[in-house]
Chains A and B, each alone.
Chain A
Amino acid sequence: MLRAGLFPFPPFGFPMQTKRTTFRSYWLPYLLIAPQLAITLIFFIWPAGQAVWQSFLQEDAFGLSTKFVGLRNYVKLLNSPEYLASFETTVIFTVCTAGLSLGLALLFAVAVDRMIRTASAYTTFILWPYAVAPAIAGVLWWFMFNPSVGVLTYALQTMGYDWNHRLSGTDAMILVVLASSWKQISYNFLFFLAGLQSIPQSLREAAAIDGAGPVKRFFTVVFPLLSPTTFFLLVVNINYTMFDTFSTIDASTAGGPGQSTTILVYKVYEDGYKGLDLGSSAAQSVILMGIVMVLTFIQFRYIERRVQY
């Protein structure tokens, strides 16, 4: 989230930009940029390169020898039902989580936008889960849905529903979706609120004078003007659910039962760190990197242009 959400995406060609007046030195800029560059090379570029290289290799069962197998790891992945299932899980999880957290956040933001005196109090109360670690969010919801002592399990039981996320894949999915969206609402809320507050009051007043009621105003004036924010948040949320929810899932369902909450990034970890299938894990990493790049590219291109009506 931090990675994607925090900063303005610069337009292409942007590194060219400097000050008109610059300083001159043959060594100073290199010295200044060296720490950042060194860490980037050692801990990012090199491992990423390793992942790409590894994805073309296959180790034998005992880890004694490796051989170059070309694209075989990829072919195997794309033919593996588990991997495809994980893709599907990721899509379901992403759509549900992004939908739920964006929807609720927009609702809360619209409500707070009406408030005058109480706005900042409500904002504080909705804001703080941003600070809760995704892993802790997972633990909290896991506790509430615990089959033996969970509050919500008990509540569901009195309504006649027998909750057990250890056995039911659907229950497990609902659990991780709730925990992940709970954590993300505050972030989305903040951006929606900022977006709402930047819409000129005169536009709404004009619409009101023309006889548009609050609901009509929302759908014909406010919501269209929010589209840049919504689109930005959509991409950030996809990014969040695909990568940052790793800890939420690990701390609550650990990908189970079976494979029902194993999203792509969790599978990389499971196959690589637990299953020790390095070639396959590396190939999965490379596919994920590709997805991240596409997302970043979309973010770049379209956010800069600003979806506008």
Chain B
Amino acid sequence: MVENRPFLTFLAHLVLILGVAFVALPVWIAFVASTHDQATFLGGSMPLWPGSNMWETYRTILTDGVPNSGTPPLTMMMTNSLIMALIITFGKIAISVISAFAIVYFRFPFRVLAFWIIFVTLMLPVEVRIMPTFKVVADLGLLNSYAGLSIPLIASATATFLFRQFFLTIPEELVEAARIDGAGPMKFFRDMVLPLSQTNIAALFVILFIYGWNQYLWPMLITTDEKFYTVVMGIKRMSDVADSDPQWNFVMGSAMLAMLPPVLVVIFMQRLFVKGLVEQEK
């Protein structure tokens, strides 16, 4: 701030309070809805203050699932989401850290070609090539499996680029010293590159976990067996009931639970998250 202008400061606070309210409103409404019972909504009105039915709602959806929705208990769907998100996260980090290492620290024939093949994946979001990708996964017999849920989403150029960018900033002297001391590439990788990449890996972890947890279209296409439903796609199933209104308290309770883990990750790892998102841009 260059000079003291009380009115502008007041205006800024006002804007931000309104902004925070705008951002929080949908979630507050969802939370309130999840604390009332089914009958409240039949009258066609929506309360603005929490009711007394909160524990009942969450207990029901966590242990029995949303009644008559054809979806399993939330504990099961959330476990599936967690497994999928963790496979995607660790898989992406693992395969991209080693491929970036190969691209930066070796010169080999077809290096540029390999690089461009990976690069192209950037351009093709899953939504664009749904049908053929679905067919490949079906042909491989991966429908209704954790492998099918996660492996097709593991390949992405994003993480490879991040690591490559970071590796290029590691001083040349380190490699030279390591080579003089007789360290081979894998030893150098284990004792130098990996420890130096720790912060980057952690930052990437936050972003990839959110990405993995929030997948929607892909799980929806390849799971027909409810044992493999993930929570984000499950919400669509439970709100899509034919011939009747959705059971708002249960649907909104599920939505609350579905956003809880990634939101907690962002809030508690905010510093890493911001670093992962913004600082890489430099």
Contacts and interface: CB of A to CB of B under 8 A. Distances in A.
A116 B2 CA distance: 12
Contact of A114 (B1, B176, B266): B1
A282 interface: yes
Interface of B: 1-3, 5, 8-9, 11-13, 15-16, 19-20, 22-27, 29-30, 33, 41, 44-46, 48, 94-96, 98-99, 101-108, 111-112, 114-125, 127-133, 135-137, 151-152, 154-156, 158, 160-162, 165, 168, 172, 175-176, 179, 184-186, 188, 207-208, 210-211, 213-214, 216-217, 221, 232-233, 235-236, 239, 245, 248, 251-252, 255, 258-259, 262-263, 265-267, 270, 273-274, 276-282
Interface of A: 2-8, 10, 15-26, 28-30, 32-33, 35-37, 39-48, 50-51, 54, 104, 107-108, 110-112, 114-116, 118, 122-137, 139-144, 148-151, 154, 182, 185-187, 190-191, 194, 201, 204-205, 208, 214, 217, 232, 243-244, 246-247, 250-251, 265, 268-269, 272-273, 278, 281-282, 285, 288-289, 292-293, 296
A131 B206 CA distance: 10
A140 B106 contact: no
B216 A22 contact: no
A151 B189 CA distance: 56
A151 B46 contact: yes
A124 B270 contact: yes
A36 B97 CA distance: 10
A6 B162 contact: yes
A27 B8 CA distance: 64
Nearest to B279: A194
A195 to B, nearest CB: 9
A72 to B, nearest CB: 19
User: What are the 7 closest A-B residue pairs judged by CB atoms, nearest first?
Assistant: A47-B132, A133-B214, A131-B262, A50-B132, A32-B102, A140-B26, A39-B155
Nearest to A189: B19
B130 A272 contact: yes
Nearest to B282: A8
B156 A3 contact: yes
A177 to B, nearest CB: 14
B11 to A, nearest CB: 8
Given A135-B214, A250-B216, A19 B162 contact: no
B26 A149 contact: no
Overall SS of chain A's interface: helix
A232 B65 CA distance: 43
A131 B273 CA distance: 10
Given A28-B185, A30-B102, 7 more contacts: A4-B122, A7-B280, A32-B102, A125-B23, A128-B23, A194-B274, A285-B131
B30 A143 contact: yes
Contact of A127 (B95, B122, B255, B266): B266
B123 A51 contact: no
A115 B11 CA distance: 11
Nearest to A24: B106
Contact of B46 (A24, A125, A154): A154
Contact of B217 (A21, A33, A35, A250): A250
Contact of A185 (B23, B26, B151, B278): B23
Given A111-B15, A134-B216, A151-B48, A48 B127 contact: no
Contacts of B270: 123-124, 127
B16 A128 contact: no
Given A126-B23, A136-B255, A23 B133 contact: no
B135 A50 contact: yes
A261 to B, nearest CB: 15
B14 to A, nearest CB: 9
A143 B33 contact: yes
A114 B8 contact: yes
A292 B123 contact: yes
Nearest to B245: A148
A90 to B, nearest CB: 13
Contacts of A7: 158, 161-162, 165, 280-281
Contacts of A135: 214, 216, 232-233, 235-236
Contact of B185 (A25, A182, A243): A25
A139 B251 contact: yes
B107 A22 contact: yes
B155 A40 contact: yes
6 contacts: A29-B111, A107-B19, A112-B16, A134-B216, A246-B216, A269-B130
Contact of A131 (B102, B119, B156, B266): B266
